[in-house]
Structure 1
């Protein structure tokens, strides 16, 4: 299960109904390419003309302890995050958490999802618990909540685009 929220200052969550079995949905979400595309596009206003590059280790983000790295820029500032897969229980839940980061509007975080499936449909809950950035906390106060909502929504919307909603 996810870490106690007391380690983080903020929390955002969303739940959607997806027209896919829990196994299909988990397989889709277990591929980090499907989760990070919203940060790879320089057309996104939330990235301020920047984008990130996804770097996966030999575990491809699909095994406990696997590293998922993203580096790039947003609003002309350099970004870096190294996440580690902390929980992975197919087809129910997955959680990854930062081990190193240089971010603008949020700081350290744990991000994950939980799936409750019934036959060919599933309820997907995506959440993020995060701190404000160590440097520039004012940017976190201004944009942290909007960014966290956007990030969670992008991850929740990705399988809706692939499978449809219920």
Structure 2
């Protein structure tokens, strides 16, 4: 499926590809920023529910639920690509009930960039929500939200491995 919008964040980390992949392969850790109350979430937060594979296998299901400004939200994602220690991709399944972005695909890629440094690219490809309200709000806030999300994932990994 093609998406209308995309964003990405990158980081170079002095860590092995396998250690970085293992860290990012933990969906709960990778998306921890969604579980924190923040200005970007307008005080709301999302919680995760995982299947038995915990998001660590192709076909594994990741569910998120929560609220944004008191409005109930939910999205179900499925892992579609998992190539340790280089790449993982997951995408929405069904129609997400979220306000800012609609259907989306997210993932990360790890490539060597020399001298034991790994280049991390975290990305999101997305569409605006289907509803008129969602398209209006999405046009205003989706780029900022998408940037925040991928940047937090990359920065959190960089912070973890620099400690």
TM-score > 0.5, shorter chain as reference: yes
Q: Unpaired segments of 5 or more residues in structure 1?
A: none
- Does 1:75 pair with 2:73? no
Residue 134 of structure 1 corresponds to 130
Which runs of at least 4 in structure 1 moved beyond 3 Å after TM superposition? Answer: none
Q: What is the TM-score normalised by the length of structure 1?
A: 0.92
Task: Report if aligned partners of 1:12, 1:127 keep a CA contact under 8 Å in 2.
Answer: yes
* TM-score normalised by length of structure 2: 0.93
Mapped to 2, the partners of 1:119 and 1:85 lie a distance apart of: 31
* Mapped partners of 2:56, 2:115: distance in 1: 24
Q: CA deviation at 1:51?
A: 0.6
- Residue correspondences, number: 159
Deviation at 1:72, TM superposition (A): 0.2
Name which of 142, 147, 158 aligns with 1:149.
Answer: 147
The equivalent position to 2:81 in structure 1, one of 74, 84, 87, is 87
Match of 2:55 among 48, 58, 61: 61
Instruction: Check if 1:103 corresponds to 2:98.
Output: yes
Which residue, 5, 23, 26 being the options, matches 2:21?
26
Aligned-residue Cα RMSD (Å) equals 1.4
State the shift of 1:70 in Å.
0.6
SS at the partner of 1:58? Answer: coil
